Structure 1
Amino acid sequence: MTGEVDSCGHDFLGLLVNVYHDSDEKNRFLIQDIVDECKTFYFAGQETTNSLLAWITLLLAIHTDWQDKARAEVTMIVNETLRLYPPLNGVVRKAVRDVQLGELALPNYLDLNIRFIALHHDPAVWGDDVHLFKPERFAEGIAKATNNNAAAFMPFGLEPRSCVGMSFAITETKIALSMILQRYTFTLSPTYVHAPLPNLSLKPQHGLHLLFHSLH
């Protein structure tokens, strides 16, 4: 058994299989648990990255002055896009005991629907320009952008329950965006109709119509 577990490796799938063989039954995964985790990581991870890239290119097509800046620095643009158009609208959490949350008394077994998009558009946190595309608000980091309330920025959830694919999705997005910006400038097509549609992820309901122009 030890040799079998050790041979699974330490990548994502290997860690899941190790949990399947965990000696503590309370921590052990079932086969269906492993299948579900893999579906979440690969399918949902692809969905969130596609959504993020779509909204980034839309915002840069509107604010073309940021395309040159993006070639040097993409992190602020990624964060501001995640704030305005988070790939997931929110998460559901269940209270496992009675909890006092500020002035709210949350009873055991209550389901909480935490809406990312509401937190990300709260002027009390982000200021009166909350609906504007301003990547420079992240120039000094997330804490400064949120007036030291970093929990108000949670496009991938919040520790210790944050999305396992967060770093992968952001890295993948930065690479793809950098490759696009090295080759093209782009503007918004007059045929584009703005209609964000919340489904599994936040998508442009009628597609994203852009006009690309080669830099070479």
Structure 2
Amino acid sequence: MEKWNMSPASKDSLEIDIAPDIETLVSSLMCKTVVTGQFTEETKRIYQLRITVRQQSAKLIKFMFFPGWWHLPFQEVKVMKAAHRETQSLVKKMVIRRLEEMKNGARNEGDVLSLMLEAYQDEASGVSLDDVIEVCRSFHFVGPESTTRSQIWMMYLLAKHPEWQERARQEVLQVFGEKKPNVQGLYKLKTVTMIMYEALRLYPPTVIFHRSISKDTKLGDMVLPAWIQISIPLILMHHDPDIWGEDATQFNPERFAEGGSFNSRMQLLTFTWGPKKCTGESMAVVIHKTLIATLLQGFSFQLSPSYLHAPKHVFLLAPEHGMKLLVRKFV
């Protein structure tokens, strides 16, 4: 908001591609306050490696539906493997450093990493050091990407549907006024929550996810042999009229007016389900609500005439030509 530097008295709007700003902000939030306690050289390097993987994924997207694509002798695959190895090494370095600091009496930072390392040091917890490293890697590598994409699409839908943007703004002002959003107030944002879930339904960060079966599994009338891969077309399920009604392709936050009952029926699978359910779901929800509330307190948004709607799935669902909005200071 400070970067946009818009005069409160100005009635003019400013065209901004919010995608890069949202990406930088979400990455900083996750890396600085949740996992590492500080924005280190390692986290900056991981940020660069994420961009590298994204670029290589774009080149390999047509091969990723074939089993064994990870073993293809392509240069892009080699670059991706090298990026993943370096990321693993950097995360392990950060985890070991924090573990040594805690053993030497350093205070608990209160972040996810400290909590996981406390569990690791408790033999009864069953948490291994590899578990800690893997969760941290997910927070650093996958978490910022998926949360960023979801936040961008939420801003798109708010800009496209001004009536819902205004409803959300009035709710935010009623709950917080001009004060900074707090966790207690976030739970009172019913309209914002409805908009958030509808955005996650229409534009899930990934349109498909894969699961490998570790043993022979009976699924309905089928028996699936061990170690085959199942692909679940998330985007098709989220747009299925048999599940969501005839307006399944339309933006209608009212369908979530009953709260989280849809989760018990496993209709919304943005965060997946079961043992592999996203470990960062609660964190992502808090980030989304906080950013929406803060931005609506300060600005109004419209789609720019130069915006071209072109969702593209390259590793994650992103606007191919950026997210250009007309931003106006809210008075």
Structure 1: gaps (5+ residues): none
Q: Does the Cα contact within 8 Å between 1:196 and 1:203 map onto a contact in 2?
A: yes
- Residue 113 of structure 1 aligns with an amino acid whose one-letter code is S
Higher relative contact order (CA 8 A, sep 6+): 2
* Alignment counterpart, residue 154 of structure 2, candidates 56, 66, 78: 56
Match for residue 133 of structure 1?
A: 251
Shift of 1:50: 1.3
* Alignment counterpart, residue 99 of structure 1, candidates 211, 217, 232: 217
Q: Is 1:70–2:185 an aligned residue pair? A: no
Q: Deviations over 1:183-211 (max 9, x none)?
A: 11111111111111112321101000110
- State how 1:28-47 maps to structure 2 within 5 Å: 28-30=128-130, 34-47=132-145
* Alignment counterpart, residue 13 of structure 1, candidates 110, 113, 124: 113
Paired with 1:91 and 1:112, the residues of 2 have a C-alpha distance of 8
Q: Is 1:176–2:294 an aligned residue pair? A: no
Paired with 2:233 and 2:106, the residues of 1 have a C-alpha distance of 41
SS at match of 1:74: helix
- Which has a greater percent of helix? 2
* Alignment counterpart, residue 302 of structure 2, candidates 177, 187, 193: 187
Aligned residue pair count: 208
Paired with 1:43 and 1:97, the residues of 2 have a C-alpha distance of 29
Matched-pair identity in %: 38
TM-score by length of 1: 0.84
SS at match of 1:212: strand
Detail structure 1 runs of 4+ shifted over 3 Å in the superposition: 3-11, 14-24, 26-30, 33-36
Q: Is 1:209–2:324 an aligned residue pair? A: yes
SS at match of 1:100: strand
Most deviating of 115-124 and 128-137? 115-124
Q: Deviations over 1:51-77 (max 9, x none)?
A: 111101111111110011112120000
Structure 2: gaps (5+ residues): 1-101, 172-190
Q: Deviations over 1:15-36 (max 9, x none)?
A: 5435655759x96344xx5444
Paired with 1:141 and 1:178, the residues of 2 have a C-alpha distance of 19
After superposition, the CA RMSD in angstroms is 2.6
Paired with 1:6 and 1:79, the residues of 2 have a C-alpha distance of 42
Match for residue 80 of structure 1?
A: 198
Most deviating of 171-180 and 198-207? 198-207
Shift of 1:161: 1.8
Change in CA separation of 1:151 and 1:160 when aligned onto 2, cut-off 3 Å: same
SS at match of 2:274: coil
Q: Is 1:151–2:251 an aligned residue pair? A: no
Shift of 1:105: 2.1
TM-score by length of 2: 0.57
Paired with 2:145 and 2:128, the residues of 1 have a C-alpha distance of 28
Paired with 1:63 and 1:75, the residues of 2 have a C-alpha distance of 15
Match for residue 234 of structure 2?
A: 116
Paired with 2:239 and 2:221, the residues of 1 have a C-alpha distance of 22
Paired with 2:165 and 2:127, the residues of 1 have a C-alpha distance of 47
Paired with 1:7 and 1:96, the residues of 2 have a C-alpha distance of 41
Paired with 1:112 and 1:22, the residues of 2 have a C-alpha distance of 36
